[in-house]
Amino acid sequence: MKSTDSSKMTALRIALMAVLTATVVVFTLMVRVPTPIKGYISLCDVVITFSAFLFGPWIAAIAGGLGTGIADLIGGYAQWAPLSFVIHGAQGLLIAVIARSGLASGVPGDANILKLILAGVVGMVVMAGGYYIAGGVLYGFEAALVEIPLNLLQSGVGVVLGIAVSRAVLKAYPPVRSLSL
């Protein structure tokens, strides 16, 4: 690959991260259902999971963490912004690492469905567990228990839709594989 080609690819990946980060913000703010301990559930995990399956750990971590953190700041939940940054960043990173482990192509979306589900379940545990710990520290661990089923619902929907959308995009536009890191 020539240096101009690699710089174009780097610029394209940076633009992709920016677009996915903005998409996470929109999906986070578009539908917000308030929860009992001053948080909310949203559709952000759809984009985080999609990003992890299709573009890899670094893009998913940056888009997921930065996107949810920005959405918390914009949406009036500033106390959650640094926590969302870490929790959703780790979620995207781990989903992608697990989904792409052992793949010759290096593209998580090429994994078999069971590997994608396993990666998604790990992401669900990271997200729900992270917010349980964060909510417990902020508002008490007993109160934070109420959030677990809601966070599992949010991330479960994200896994199902993330698998469906990433598979559909790969089928419709196979060259997207070249953007995976």
- How confident is residue 38, by pLDDT bands cut at 50, 70 and 90? confident
Phi, psi of 31 (to 5 degrees): -130, 110
Question: What is the pTM (predicted TM-score) of this model?
Answer: 0.90
Residues 6+ apart with CB under 8 A from 82: 69
How many angstroms separate the CA atoms of 166 and 163, rounded? 5
Q: Is 42 helix (H, G, I), strand (E, B) or coil?
A: coil
- Could you tell me which residues are beta bridge partners of residue 33? 41
Q: What is the pLDDT of residues 73-130, one digit of tens each?
A: 999 999 999 999 999 999 999 999 999 886 665 565 566 889 999 999 999 999 999 9
Which pLDDT value is given to residue 3?
A: 46
Q: What is the pLDDT of residues 122-153, one digit of tens each?
A: 999 999 999 999 999 999 999 999 999 999 99
How many angstroms separate the CA atoms of 32 and 66, rounded? 18
Structure-block tokens of residue 64: 């997921």
H or E, element range at 35:
strand 33-35
Q: Which domains does the chain have, with CATH numbers?
A: 3-179 (1.10.1760.20)
Which pLDDT value is given to residue 1?
A: 42
Residue type, 136: G
Which pLDDT value is given to residue 6?
A: 58
